[in-house]
Structures are given as structure tokens and as C-alpha cells.
Amino acid sequence: MAIDQSAEPDAATPRDGGSVTIVSGATAIAPHRPVRDWFLTGLIDDAASHQGPHARHAEKESSWWRVMCLTGLDYFSTLGYQPAIAALAAGLISPFATIVLVALTLFGALPVYRRVARESFRGSGSIAMLERLLPWWAGKLFVLVLLGFAATDFMITITLSAADAAAHAIENPYAPSWFHGGNMWITLLLIALLGAVFLRGFREAIGVAVILVAAYLALNAVVVVVGIGHVVAHPVVVKDWWSLLFVQNGSPWMVIAISLIVFPKLALGLSGFETGVAVMPQIKGSDTDPADYPKTRIRGAGLLLTTAALIMSVFLIASSFMTTFLIPQKDFQPGGPANGRALAYIAHMYIGNAFGTVYDISTILILWFAGASAMAGLLNLVPRYLPRYGMAPQWARAVRPLVLVFTAIAFIITWVFDASVDAQGGAYATGVLVLITSASFAVAASAWRKRQRAQVIGFGIVTAIFIYTTVLNVFERPDGIRIAALFILGILVISLVSRVGRSFQLRATSVTLDAEAQRFLLDDAATGQLHLIAHEPHVDVNREYSQKDKDERKYSKIPGDARTLFIEVHRSDTSDFEEDLVVHGVKKYGYRILKVTSANVPNTIAAVLLAARDLTGVAPTAYFEWTEGNPVSNMWRYLITGVGEVAPVTREVLREAEPDVRRRPAVHVV
């Protein structure tokens, strides 16, 4: 339950006979600690609706093409290393493998994510679609696994981009001599600077992104045009490549076959789609659009995804052919001058060191800001899921603690991979491919539910292709799955510990009482007492209620003339943790009942008791029966199913939520 510490006990008095929402709880006021308060800024955003550091809420929306530059920080920046990694992975066949990749981009990933944009337009991406398709614990565990791969994707984006930025700085002819051999410390410095920026507060990201992306694409266009011009002026390079291609691989059919096999190694070129749907709340919508289907924003997202994919496809194909024609294969090898920086090599070689230096600076900046985009993705993703599942501490909602955690992890990954771009390529591709595969499965499942046969077949084929691509990439470069497995294991362990540690917290972010529930409580409070009998709604007959009321009055010594209320919790998805509770007042068999649907029983009863106190100013008393069974097994039942030992857990939740004994609702057990 969200805490409004300034609210008076009767601050939630109902108006006009409508429902009232209670967002109050304990009365203790936390001491003012400037450093701690600064560090935990943003913790009050219980809905986790802020889009990373770009804005707590998407208050300043922008045109789709400006937002495209934000996602382009991640997507377009791969041009800094993609052509070199492709040449190293596929050799002379890399242009044909790139064509296969582009075809999969335009006819596979793009249609998938255009549908994701239509069905998950609040920025939650394909993971939210799968969460809706797979409820209960199975869905939560599946989401946790996907978060592990998403963390792999974003974390490797940070470390790989910083490592490639360091490579561009070191290989620049004007770089000081003490830069040489400094890949590690330069990479760590860039990551530390990234963390410092986010600790201070990252604003106006879109304005910076537009300038960087526009400059970077313009410089790349110059490099590509000059390179192609050199190829046209010296057609012998094409003839030599063509001859060597068939000497190494035999027939054209073998070239095609090998291209289909090796193209998964080039999967880095698919990196921008999940980010593209994550930034959707930043796209300017229309006030006339319905809230449940903002068609203007969805149309803008479609234009964003399509335009970005077309731009990237053109650059990928042109740069792949050009660098393969003009750069000797040995220069792509680790330690070679084109390793991790093929287009920069062309810029220096054919345009000059002055232009090449400008290109290097542009590449370093966009790679560094690609890390910022990835950090933003992490800061958007983690608070959106883990705290809501009860699987992360409350401080995980705040930006600054997470920034320190992610920065430390980035340091470790950089050290493990020795700041090598090539070594991290497999891990990056694995994270990207798993997310795209899961998105393909999500849209195929959505089409199946809606009985759209043609779409099911189409998206099913795309899903199968991405499964093949992912599996092949994992076998070729297992580093990615190892890193992802570590993230998944870490998330699962932290989730389990956190869920247990937060078991006795109030889980309701708000409690809404309808008009009838208010009337029941206010009528009883007028007598100076509130007697609530906890009832398990498994038998719905008159005798069940009459016997329960009779037993509680007898054994709990409730006065015969006292008014009583039943409180019933009807269980929903027991894997949920935080909820907005709605309490309905109903009459049944002559008895008055407060009925609420929730994932767990004791925490919900505690939240309703506190809401009743805040509404009426009277601390209620709740009456329970002891639960039969072994206490240990009952505790496990509570952790998994939300039931177990209801009475003692309710009392413990109340004790932690309300330290003032005089204002704490009482629990009576017989």
C-alpha cells in the first residue's frame, strides 16, 4: 500500500456516495537523511511507469522521427563494429550473409515488432505480451528468464559499445602513445562516466540523440559513397573478390548454403527492435485517440520501426560489400587495424586522417550514448517487473541504486572479456536473438488466440527461423548463453530471497472501497467498534455464515448486540505481489460482507483493516480461527499460494506496517 504520511485518519471521507481510494498506512515518519533521500529519488513511483532516466513520466512527447534517433543510438551505432565482426565471422561470404540478415530483418523482425507495437503500446514490449499470455507462476518464471536475456543484451551493449569506442580512440593516428594497450582502462573509464551521468540525472536524451544520430549517419553516408566510388574506379577489386570467393567455396550453391549457415553470426544487426517498442511512450500521440488504443502513437511507432530498419538495411549491405572489397581479410583479425572499426579504417584510408578523426569522434560519442540507451532500457525494465513481483527490494524502484549495480556488473563483464569487441559479440547476439524469438512466439500466440490463420502460419515460420538462428548462434558462440545463464541464475536467486524477505510487507498499492463497503464500515464505526470476521469463501450456504457468526460471538466473546462484518478474500493469480485492491460491500443471507479479490489472504486482510481504520478513525478488530496443519508446511503454502497461517501472518503484517500499537488493528484468534 502506498503511504501518505500526512493524511489524517478521516482524510478519506467518501464524497457523493461514490467509491473512495485509501492510500494510507503507518503513521511513523522516516527521518530526513539528505544523502539517503538523494540516493533513493524516484522510489515513490510505485507504478514503475517512468521510462528509465528519460523522464519519470512521458510528459514531453516527441515526433516519431526524433524518438527514432533515441532507439537509433543502440541500433545505428552497431555500424561501428558490425561490418568488421561480419567480415571476421563470415569472411568473403559476409556480403551474402548480410543480405540474408537484411531479408530476415525486413520480412521477419519488422512485421513481428510492428504487431508488438500494436498490442503492447505502453512501452512494455514483447515481454509484457508473454506475461499476459502465460499467467500464474509459469508466466512469472518465464518472464524472469527473459529478463535474464534482456539484461545480457543491454549489459553487453554497454560493455561492447564502450570497448569499441576505446578501440576507435586507440587506433586514431592522433591518439597519444600512452593510449596504446589501454583498451581496458579506457573502456572502464567510459563505463564509469556513463554511470556518473545517470547518477546525476539524464535529461534531454532525445535532443542529444537527434544531433548524434544525424551527424553519425551523415558521416557514414560520406564514407560509403567514397568507398563505393573507389570500388567503381577500381573494378579489379570486385573481380579479385569474386574469383577468390569461388576458389574457397566452389559453386554458387555452396556460397548460398554457407550464407544461410553463417548469417546468425551477424545477428548484431538486429539489435534495435526491442528498444524501438520500449520507447513508444515518448512518441507524440493525439488527444482524440482512445486510451485503450492510441492509434496515432502506434502509427508513429510503425513508422519508426520501418524507417530505422530500412536505413540500417541499406547501410549494412553497402558497408558489407564495400569493406569486403577494400580491406584485406588479415586486417580484420584481432590486433589488425580494421578489427572492430572497418568503416573508420575506410574513412582514414580513403578520405584522410582529418575526416577520419571527425568520424572517430562521432563513432565514440554514439557508441558511448548507445550504452546510455542500454542503461535506460535496464532502468525501465527492472522496476517494471521485479518489484511488482515482490522479487526485488523496494530500492530497486529508484534509479541511482540500480545505476551503481549495473555499473559494477559492467566492470566485471569488461574484465572477464578483457575489453574485447570480438569476444563479446556472441553474448550480445544471443541476448538479441532470444528477445526477438520470444517476440515472434508472442505474436504467433496472439494470432492463434484471435484465430488469424494466415498470421499464425506467417509468424510461426518466422519463429521457427529465429529459433534456428538462436540455436545455431548458441552452438557457435556459447559465451552468450553462459553469460545469460549467470544473469538468469542471479535474478532467480535474488527474486527468491527478496520474495521471502518481503513476505510480511503490505502488498496493496491502494485500497478502493465501494459505496456499500463504506456504508457498512461507517455505520458500525458509529457505535465506536468495528468487528470483522475473517471467512474463507469455500462454502456458499446460509448455514456456513450463521454458524461462523455464532461461533465467533461465543468463543471470541463478541457482545451479543455488537454488529459484525464478514471479510472474504477471493483468490486470484497467487504469483502476483503488488495489487490495487477493490473492496465491494455485499449482502448475503442477511449478513454483510466485505468482498475483495487478491493474490494472497493475510496481507490483503491487513490492508483492508488499515483502510477501514483510515476511513472511520476506529481501529478494527479481526477475528480468526487457527489454521490446521504443520506450521512449516503452512508457511510454504503462504509463500506459494498466499494462504497458510492466515491469523499470525496478518498480525505480523500489521505490526510491521503500523508501529503505533494504539492505532494498530487488533487480531483475535481462537
Tell me the β-bridge partners of 587. Answer: 592
User: In the predicted model, what is the mean pLDDT of residues 351-368?
Assistant: 92
pTM of the model: 0.73
Better pLDDT: 571 or 237: 237
Nearest CA among 474, 481, 472, 478 for reference residue 262: 472
- Cβ atoms of 597 and 537 within 8 Å: the answer is no
For 600, the grid coordinates are 494472497
Task: Provide the residue type at 247 as one letter.
Answer: V
Those residues with Cβ within 8 angstroms of residue 305's Cβ, 6 or more apart along the chain or in another chain: 110, 113, 114, 117, 273, 276, 277
CA 356 to CA 263: how far, in whole Å?
Answer: 29
- Among 208-217, 221-230, 249-258, 410-419, whose mean pLDDT is lowest? 249-258
**Locus of grid cell 503454502:** 637
Q: State the pLDDT confidence band at 9, using cuts at 50, 70 and 90.
A: very low
- Among 41-45, 263-267, 480-484, 572-576, whose mean pLDDT is lowest? 41-45
Assess whether pLDDT exceeds 50 at residue 357: yes
Q: State the pLDDT confidence band at 575, using cuts at 50, 70 and 90.
A: low
CA 344 to CA 366: how far, in whole Å?
Answer: 14
Assess whether pLDDT exceeds 60 at residue 10: no
Burial of 178 by CB count in 10 Å (0-12 exposed, 13-18 middle, 19+ buried)? exposed
Assess whether pLDDT exceeds 60 at residue 30: no
CA atoms within 13 A on the CB side of 45: 20
Assess whether pLDDT exceeds 70 at residue 289: yes
Assess whether pLDDT exceeds 90 at residue 244: no
For 30, the grid coordinates are 522516516
Q: What is the pLDDT of residue 203?
A: 59
Identify the sign of the CA torsion 246, 252, 255, 257. Answer: negative
Beta strands in 315-440 (DSSP E): none
Name the 3-class secondary structure at 630.
coil
For 358, the grid coordinates are 571527425
Assess whether pLDDT exceeds 50 at residue 25: no
Task: Provide the residue type at 566 as one letter.
Answer: F
Burial of 475 by CB count in 10 Å (0-12 exposed, 13-18 middle, 19+ buried)? exposed
Which strands sit side by side in the sheet containing 666-669, from one edge to the other?
20-22, 508-513, 579-588, 591-598, 564-571, 531-534, 621-624, 666-669
CA atoms within 13 A on the CB side of 255: 18
- Cβ atoms of 537 and 570 within 8 Å: the answer is yes
Characterize 189-209 residue by residue with b for buried, 16 or more Cβ atoms within 10 angstroms of its Cβ, and e for exposed: ebbeebbebbbeebeebbebb
Those residues with Cβ within 8 angstroms of residue 444's Cβ, 6 or more apart along the chain or in another chain: 455, 456, 459, 460, 462, 463
pLDDT (tens digit, 9 = 90+) per residue, 620-668? 988 887 765 555 555 555 555 555 577 788 888 888 888 888 888 888 8
Tell me the β-bridge partners of 579. Answer: 508
What single-letter DSSP state applies at residue 40?
T
Please provide the average confidence, as pLDDT, over all residues in the chain. Answer: 80
What single-letter DSSP state applies at residue 528?
T
Q: State the pLDDT confidence band at 467, using cuts at 50, 70 and 90.
A: very high
